Structure 1
């Protein structure tokens, strides 16, 4: 990990500023109200997570979502996967409040909310280890693709030996996102995960500008 940190320190990186302050409650609510309207096919990916989790031969499955946002995925997983305990990590308390408002009492009993900013070098410490880690449409919030490999390497500390890591984000492509500093091509996603020394990386879904990778250590 130190090698990747040094590479970043020795590279001039011009971060792409976010157009929205997701810590602001009104901005967070606006984002939440628009996201599924813009991309209703997100739920196709949510269903795939459910399928993958249900196929794990485990009980009391520990799931971590990084960049959990307003709780759409949390709600979907908790509704359909009754064997999971879910930890939500986000840098925005406003997003956590939106998430809590979606969940029933018996769902909230299986959730832990944590505040952490994954742009900080020690964000992942003290979170524990998990059977499943998901980052869905949040990787670009690193604000530059140059940080991706270090992030993926940090996530390895959160994975049990037989855990699975799901990475889903927008892609840089002619028919998708156009900012090649913020977003990566499918090949660049593979490269960033391989640079972080994941032994198994599989593209399991590529649809309408979103790609989903299943990774193991």
Structure 2
């Protein structure tokens, strides 16, 4: 059996560790079952972020939307947009999503900065009208409630929060996203 040089062994170890880390980012929490059947054509278009677990990439943003477009190659274009009232400007992130398996299962990997991808798993969906959705990331620290309008009935919102709570998500940390006016006053303050 041939010996592997220490440099090659270190490189191979690095690649294996990197693959494990990157693979873990696209997984889904135990118990979260992606919606099926899922129709990406119906899911396409603009969605309003109603509630979210806050993270640095969205911190302080209001009027957050996500727009999904089906691309010719079968991937999904993702445009996230939100208003930063402190700086009085819009922020955008443009990415690509690809199905992790069958296109009828709502489990995708989203990439905003190659090679890093994150899991995107729709685990509750208004199957009749595609009017609201509950989405998990790769762990229970990522959760979003989306709707086709900038508001969602309290009954539906509470039902989705209860569903997420039953799966162990920290729903007490959810924030309600403001979709009010985006006007700013001179000096950069809203």
Q: Please identify which structure carries the higher strand content.
A: 2
Asked if TM exceeds 0.5, the reply is no
The TM-score with structure 1 as length reference comes to 0.31
Larger radius of gyration, structure 1 or 2? 2
